[in-house]
Chains A and B, each alone.
Chain A
């Protein structure tokens, strides 16, 4: 791991303008990411983790999103101040995404080849043999017989395969950072394990940083180097995965870890999170 961060976020605050007033989704968070490092952002629904992920390349629709303050520095350049053209050259090329629901995230009327080729065309125009390159990446993410799959439409693939295509598409431009926004939530448990294995495997083979956004503490061990726990738009705990998992400091983190059902443990009611009490302690 290098010593200079590739991504640094300083005091980022994001609001949403709604009919009933402004909602502060992210309230001033800061963290940094080294090349090749994997950071897991963990939190419940509505804690601002996905918003943070999308904000990295300004993918949030504006309006309603408002970037109230802060900086997102990619190699020292502030993404929030970039022109649209510069922003587009970062999306996909430097920072790539995998989303939660693979079945809707792929365009239903284009073949998977043309969707991956589109990314290549945009960011790696020097690639001569596009088919070969697409096949290479489909192979990399573990799609059997990629040659035959090239001209398939998304609906002809299973959910796990679709997510693999999404990963292949993200990897095809050799990004420095992959943002995986709940990549396994929409998949069933066995496929979840496969996809997580795939990500773990890829992390070894391709040197890139990963931001893994999830609400599930269970899937981050073994892949994440650091963990940021988000609660109500703030990072309430940050540390190495081992530290956070073995010795959680914030009551919210403790509660989240308690929520994971364990094999072989005594049968008990799963813990729920008492928001009122937590709010009182975190003030």
Chain B
């Protein structure tokens, strides 16, 4: 175990190096410091001012290696940046020039004041709730509880904050609306509401996962032995199952504990808590990339610390793993020397290639390639074609697979699952609305308009706000042109139409991202699980690097560099999210590769390609489908959260995220304008909930342990 731990610790620099390389490429290659400087200073800043700004921060040095004879070779951005981070010299803010070390040190305490109690309370609540659900397992109460969890996790986090603030702070006045003060005891009242909301945001998901863990434990043989001994239900659950279950929970919980220092972006921003989350949020608004870079670096470092803590806790808690025993756990990684050497050899050519690519990309920035791609994507015939193809492909895929034994049984089961079917029908409805907005047709003037705009052409625009079914405008007694069942927004657009139009955005983001990340994750997972050895090492390294940066941080970093656009959001999401499906498929492929039918196929002399496509892929395909559905709901939520954080889609795109973002200011108006928020979050909730329920139904239908 000690040697294992040592190897784990030695592996950390390798991963952190990967993360640093990633952030470096993002911050100095994909977007050059000059561009950022122009963005920060002013559009009209003189070239001299920009140069001065760059010189102050050392960004005017050569990117990789200093070739000038008067300076040492390592006096470049890359070398300085790497050595600084490696020595934990966090540098200065790009904007104010303040020391980031001080900023981060002073922000950690307020962040922890919220997240630590919230995590402890949340863990306690989730474990108790899930144990209770397991106690009454398979009863109506359990079913209701599980659905309740799915409902809780389908609500967009901002809504909890809105609701909590307006109910407990504004209306009931139990807690202050926002603020922070830790210098005296009365400051605790500022903490209670954020802590509670933080708990509730994660409660549904955690309870559901823990319930699954405990259910798995309760099906084990030792439980039957204990029952045969005459142990009662409570003791069974709280002694036998709890202890085994908690050991299983260590992997789920401990790795994320150090990340609590980074705080919560949303909550700190809302409640005005001067923590690290707030620091990051304001850095995003002002374009201070130094803060983002350091956050990503710290996040990776903390996550690695969490993984090591997980291993130690595991060894302490599980009697089967003893210090001194050699035990490979799931996160096991072999001795990294060979990889280190390999990486060192590859690093330089890789670096050159990357910088070359980036150079050529930046010279095309306003030119040919992206513009051509954009033109193709904007072509309406292309879009019509794409939508119809996807529908046909899905139908064909389901039809061909339905002949497969496993799929056939799952379909039969699904047909009897009322909740799953309803959820599926709702998803189809959303797809239909999305298709209406996507399919376009030229009108008499030759302008392309979506089918949805033809259908809603009779609904006229107003001047500004009006309440649902109102006859006059909200602010003045001007008569309305038409009836608006969900009212109108600030620009007088009908909220219902806007909500329906935003369907397309959500579905497109989810769909396009899935189109990229699902094939990549599946192929890499299959390859790494089937070929093992070096292939596995390389792929595992890549996903360890990506996984060690907290998802939201990485997303924010990528999008703030690539700029707000449809394509950049899709790329950022795909780049961040493929890790999950890759890991899942890798594990399952490894399990399947060990089974007899693969050995038999190999003994028959079948090619790798044939084994992969004919034997392995069909046997992991259902997992891909389930991940796709459940991942889709996450993508939709991410779009909204990112739009809310100000790194979402370009202004003017119809999106639920933008509507919810806009509602933040409107809620404080008098009279309260609630319909905008209600419509967007309602539509979002409907889609996410149906996706989650449908994914769950699929999982149940494909569960081999059933029936």
Which residues of the partner chain B approach A85 to less than 8 Å between Cβ atoms?
Answer: 232
Residues of B347-401 whose CB lies within 8 A of A = none
Q: Is A89 touching B243 in the complex (CB atoms < 8 A)?
A: no
Does B707 belong to the interface (CB within 8 Å)? yes
Q: Is B225 touching A91 in the complex (CB atoms < 8 A)?
A: no
| Complex Cα–Cα for A90 and B232 (A) | 12
Which residues of the partner chain B approach A155 to less than 8 Å between Cβ atoms?
Answer: 319-320
Q: Is B247 touching A123 in the complex (CB atoms < 8 A)?
A: no
Does A238 belong to the interface (CB within 8 Å)? no
Q: Is A122 touching B230 in the complex (CB atoms < 8 A)?
A: yes
Which residues of the partner chain A approach B244 to less than 8 Å between Cβ atoms?
Answer: 107-109
Does B48 belong to the interface (CB within 8 Å)? no
**B690-701 vs A: 1/0 string, CB under 8 Å?**
000000000000
Which residues of the partner chain B approach A101 to less than 8 Å between Cβ atoms?
Answer: 221
Q: Is B222 touching A104 in the complex (CB atoms < 8 A)?
A: yes
Does B61 belong to the interface (CB within 8 Å)? no
Does B614 belong to the interface (CB within 8 Å)? no
Does A201 belong to the interface (CB within 8 Å)? no
Write the nearest CB–CB distance from B217 to chain A, whole angstroms. Answer: 10
Q: Is B319 touching A109 in the complex (CB atoms < 8 A)?
A: yes
Partner of A20, one of B247, B318, B319, B707: B707
| Complex Cα–Cα for A44 and B138 (A) | 31
Partner of B221, one of A20, A96, A105: A105
Does A283 belong to the interface (CB within 8 Å)? no
Q: In this complex, what residue of B is CB-closest to A97?
A: B228
Q: Is B225 touching A166 in the complex (CB atoms < 8 A)?
A: yes
| Complex Cα–Cα for A110 and B235 (A) | 14
Q: In this complex, what residue of A is CB-closest to B218?
A: A61
Q: In this complex, what residue of A is CB-closest to B222?
A: A107
**B199-232 vs A: 1/0 string, CB under 8 Å?**
0000000000000000000001110111111111
Q: Is A99 touching B229 in the complex (CB atoms < 8 A)?
A: no
Q: Is A123 touching B221 in the complex (CB atoms < 8 A)?
A: no
Q: In this complex, what residue of A is CB-closest to B416?
A: A19
Knowing A18-B707, A119-B229, the reply to whether A104 touches B247 (Cβ < 8 A) is no
| Complex Cα–Cα for A93 and B224 (A) | 15
Q: Is B221 touching A104 in the complex (CB atoms < 8 A)?
A: yes
Knowing A109-B244, A109-B318, A153-B320, the reply to whether A57 touches B228 (Cβ < 8 A) is yes
Does A88 belong to the interface (CB within 8 Å)? yes
User: How many chain B residues touch A (Cβ–Cβ < 8 Å)?
Assistant: 24
Which residues of the partner chain A approach B226 to less than 8 Å between Cβ atoms?
Answer: 107, 118
Q: Is B225 touching A118 in the complex (CB atoms < 8 A)?
A: no
| Complex Cα–Cα for A123 and B229 (A) | 9
Write the nearest CB–CB distance from B555 to chain A, whole angstroms. Answer: 39
Does B413 belong to the interface (CB within 8 Å)? yes
Knowing A63-B138, A97-B228, A122-B229, the reply to whether A104 touches B318 (Cβ < 8 A) is no
Which residues of the partner chain B approach A59 to less than 8 Å between Cβ atoms?
Answer: 224, 227-228
Q: Is A105 touching B225 in the complex (CB atoms < 8 A)?
A: yes
| Complex Cα–Cα for A108 and B221 (A) | 11
| Complex Cα–Cα for A91 and B227 (A) | 8
Does B240 belong to the interface (CB within 8 Å)? yes
Which residues of the partner chain A approach B232 to less than 8 Å between Cβ atoms?
Answer: 84-85, 88
Q: In this complex, what residue of A is CB-closest to B706?
A: A19
| Complex Cα–Cα for A265 and B331 (A) | 54
Q: Is A91 touching B230 in the complex (CB atoms < 8 A)?
A: yes
Which residues of the partner chain A approach B220 to less than 8 Å between Cβ atoms?
Answer: 104
Which residues of the partner chain B approach A88 to less than 8 Å between Cβ atoms?
Answer: 230-232
Q: Is B225 touching A97 in the complex (CB atoms < 8 A)?
A: yes
Which residues of the partner chain A approach B138 to less than 8 Å between Cβ atoms?
Answer: 63
Does A92 belong to the interface (CB within 8 Å)? yes
Write the nearest CB–CB distance from A140 to chain B, whole angstroms. Answer: 18
| Complex Cα–Cα for A109 and B226 (A) | 13
| Complex Cα–Cα for A281 and B224 (A) | 37
Knowing A19-B413, A109-B243, A153-B319, the reply to whether A90 touches B230 (Cβ < 8 A) is yes
Which residues of the partner chain A approach B227 to less than 8 Å between Cβ atoms?
Answer: 59, 91
Knowing A18-B707, A63-B138, A108-B222, the reply to whether A89 touches B230 (Cβ < 8 A) is yes
Which residues of the partner chain A approach B231 to less than 8 Å between Cβ atoms?
Answer: 88, 118, 122
Q: In this complex, what residue of A is CB-closest to B227?
A: A59
Write the nearest CB–CB distance from B556 to chain A, whole angstroms. Answer: 41
Does A169 belong to the interface (CB within 8 Å)? yes
Q: In this complex, what residue of A is CB-closest to B247?
A: A109
Knowing A105-B221, A105-B222, A105-B224, the reply to whether A118 touches B319 (Cβ < 8 A) is no
Residues of A147-194 whose CB lies within 8 A of B = 153, 155, 166, 169
**A68-107 vs B: 1/0 string, CB under 8 Å?**
0000000000000000110011111100110101001111
Q: Is A107 touching B225 in the complex (CB atoms < 8 A)?
A: yes
Q: In this complex, what residue of B is CB-closest to A93?
A: B230
Which residues of the partner chain B approach A106 to less than 8 Å between Cβ atoms?
Answer: 222, 225
Residue in B220, B224, B318, B707 with the greatest tally of chain A CB atoms within 10 Å: B224
Q: In this complex, what residue of B is CB-closest to A56?
A: B228
| Complex Cα–Cα for A118 and B240 (A) | 11
Residue in A59, A89, A108 with the greatest tally of chain B CB atoms within 10 Å: A108
| Complex Cα–Cα for A90 and B231 (A) | 11
Q: Is B320 touching A107 in the complex (CB atoms < 8 A)?
A: no
Residues of B227-259 whose CB lies within 8 A of A = 227-232, 240, 243-244, 247
Which residues of the partner chain A approach B224 to less than 8 Å between Cβ atoms?
Answer: 59, 99, 105
| Complex Cα–Cα for A153 and B318 (A) | 10
Write the nearest CB–CB distance from A149 to chain B, whole angstroms. Answer: 14
**B14-36 vs A: 1/0 string, CB under 8 Å?**
00000000000000000000000
Q: Is B229 touching A118 in the complex (CB atoms < 8 A)?
A: yes
| Complex Cα–Cα for A119 and B232 (A) | 12
| Complex Cα–Cα for A84 and B235 (A) | 14
Partner of B228, one of A84, A96, A108: A96
Q: Is A99 touching B225 in the complex (CB atoms < 8 A)?
A: yes
Q: In this complex, what residue of A is CB-closest to B232?
A: A88
| Complex Cα–Cα for A85 and B234 (A) | 12
Write the nearest CB–CB distance from A1 to chain B, whole angstroms. Answer: 26
| Complex Cα–Cα for A19 and B413 (A) | 8
Which residues of the partner chain B approach A169 to less than 8 Å between Cβ atoms?
Answer: 225, 229
Q: In this complex, what residue of A is CB-closest to B320?
A: A155
Q: Is A91 touching B228 in the complex (CB atoms < 8 A)?
A: yes
Write the nearest CB–CB distance from B699 to chain A, whole angstroms. Answer: 16
Which residues of the partner chain B approach A104 to less than 8 Å between Cβ atoms?
Answer: 220-222
| Complex Cα–Cα for A20 and B409 (A) | 11
Write the nearest CB–CB distance from A137 to chain B, whole angstroms. Answer: 14
Q: In this complex, what residue of B is CB-closest to A108?
A: B320
Q: Is B319 touching A108 in the complex (CB atoms < 8 A)?
A: yes
| Complex Cα–Cα for A107 and B240 (A) | 7
| Complex Cα–Cα for A19 and B412 (A) | 10
Write the nearest CB–CB distance from A79 to chain B, whole angstroms. Answer: 13
Write the nearest CB–CB distance from B620 to chain A, whole angstroms. Answer: 24
| Complex Cα–Cα for A163 and B557 (A) | 57
| Complex Cα–Cα for A118 and B232 (A) | 12
Which residues of the partner chain B approach A92 to less than 8 Å between Cβ atoms?
Answer: 228-230
Which residues of the partner chain A approach B318 to less than 8 Å between Cβ atoms?
Answer: 109
Write the nearest CB–CB distance from B43 to chain A, whole angstroms. Answer: 65
| Complex Cα–Cα for A104 and B231 (A) | 17
Which residues of the partner chain B approach A99 to less than 8 Å between Cβ atoms?
Answer: 221, 224-225, 228
| Complex Cα–Cα for A110 and B319 (A) | 8
Q: In this complex, what residue of B is CB-closest to A179?
A: B228
Residue in A85, A89, A106 with the greatest tally of chain B CB atoms within 10 Å: A106
- List 10 other contacts, CB 8 Å, given A99-B228, A110-B240, A118-B231: A19-B416, A59-B227, A96-B229, A99-B221, A104-B221, A109-B244, A109-B247, A110-B243, A166-B225, A169-B229
Residues of A within 8 A of B (CB): 18-20, 57, 59, 63, 84-85, 88-93, 96-97, 99, 101, 104-110, 118-119, 122-123, 153, 155, 166, 169
21 residue pairs bridging A and B, Cβ less than 8 Å apart: A19-B416, A88-B230, A92-B228, A96-B228, A96-B229, A99-B221, A99-B224, A99-B225, A104-B220, A105-B222, A105-B224, A107-B244, A108-B319, A109-B247, A110-B243, A118-B226, A118-B231, A122-B229, A153-B320, A166-B225, A169-B229
Q: Which 9 A-B pairs have the closest CB atoms?
A: A91-B230, A92-B230, A104-B221, A97-B228, A107-B222, A92-B229, A153-B319, A19-B707, A88-B230
